[in-house]
Amino acid sequence: MKKISTLILMTSALVNLWPIPAAAVNSNAGTAAYTFLKIGTGAKSQGLGGAFVGLADDATALYYNPAGLTARGEGELLYDELLDKPLYEMPKNRFTASYINYLVDFQYGFLGYVRQLDSLSSIGASASYQNYGTFDRLDAEGAELGTFGASDIALALTYSKRLSARFSAGITGKAIFESIDDSSSTGLAADIGLMYLMSADGSSRLGLALTNLGAQLDGLTESHKDKLPTKVAAGLSHRLVGLPFLFSAEAGKPFDNDFYAALGMELVSLRPFFVRMGWTTQGRQYRAGGDNDFAAGLAGGFGVTYKNYQIDYSYSSYADLGSVHRISLGAGF
């Protein structure tokens, strides 16, 4: 009961730390470049409402919190003191792939690979891509002049290290490219993450991440450069002892938008099956006074594991704009 009360207090603190303002458009909304970097990847994380900075326990930590790649509790890395060797280790190689048919049929994908160097450090590489489709090119009078396309891609390298039994840190560097018709732009950014295991077995975690900190090197026009979608977020997760649930909570501040909070819950007693549900206040920006406003920000999903393989699905509601379905695959070897 004490642990449940502690979790409720910590979650309440995160949600109330930054109160949600009245419905209004943030003056900075829409001012950042490379908005595809805001699209959450991984069906597991999105099934939890996006509350993943304080959990980051799979290869999508490459995206959310690079410190999560080396955050391992005693229950996740068993060590035989007599034989002086580990009884079980995480797979040295981990792979993740995610696909989204996003709103208005934009196509988004994420690929990530993690290599464990030793018991304390890992490296990773990832790529995220969005294709906006084909558009008609028109002249000033509205006559058609053919078509053009638009796309974004980000290529990233990550390094993560366990600094102590309970504390890990990670950093990611990424190059960003955008193309719209004959125009293009490039940018450089970095992600910095920290993870602290509040319990020795890793059942309680606290994470902090600063993502997309950088600059646009070349804008789509010579006279203008946009800011990047930088964000700072803090999160925690807790697996209840004796109960079949894992809870996660997150609060963050995008530099180009309002504070947000997210909550998620995972049912873990059905292993190898997992059921998830979540909610985020970020859904408020999709409310337009329609009948589906109540569902904005709600999410859910499930996952199945077999040996070192995993498949996950998630559903996220964007009110009257529609819904987004995510599918993710994971493997370890």
pLDDT in tens, 250-307: 999 999 999 999 999 999 888 899 999 999 998 887 776 666 677 888 999 999 999 8
Q: What's the mean pLDDT when you consider all of the chain?
A: 85
- Low-confidence stretches of the chain (pLDDT beneath 50): 1-24, 75, 77-88
- pLDDT in the model for residue 322: 82
Token pair belonging to 177: 């490219």
Amino acid at 91: P
Residues 6+ apart with CB under 8 A from 200: 73, 74, 165, 166
Q: Could you give phi then psi for residue 106, rounded to 5 degrees?
A: -70, 140
Q: What is the pLDDT of residue 296?
A: 84
CB 160 within 8 A of CB 191: no
- With pLDDT > 90 as the criterion, what percentage of the chain qualifies? 58
Cβ–Cβ < 8 Å for 283, 290: no
Model pTM score = 0.85
Other C-beta atoms lying within 10 Å of the C-beta of residue 318 = 20
B/e letters for 251-277, b = 16+ CB within 10 Å, e = fewer, are bbebebbbbbbbbbbbebeeeeebbbb
Are 202 and 74 in contact, with CB atoms under 8 Å apart?
Answer: yes
DSSP state of 220: S
Supply the pLDDT for residue 260: 96
CA pair distance 82, 199, nearest whole angstrom = 24
pLDDT the model gives residue 241:
80
DSSP letters for 9-54: HHHHHHHHHSPPPPS---TTTT-BS-GGGGSPP-HHHHHTTT--TT
Cα angle for residues 179, 132, 329 (degrees, 5° grid): 110
Going from N- to C-terminal start, the domains of the chain cover 2-261
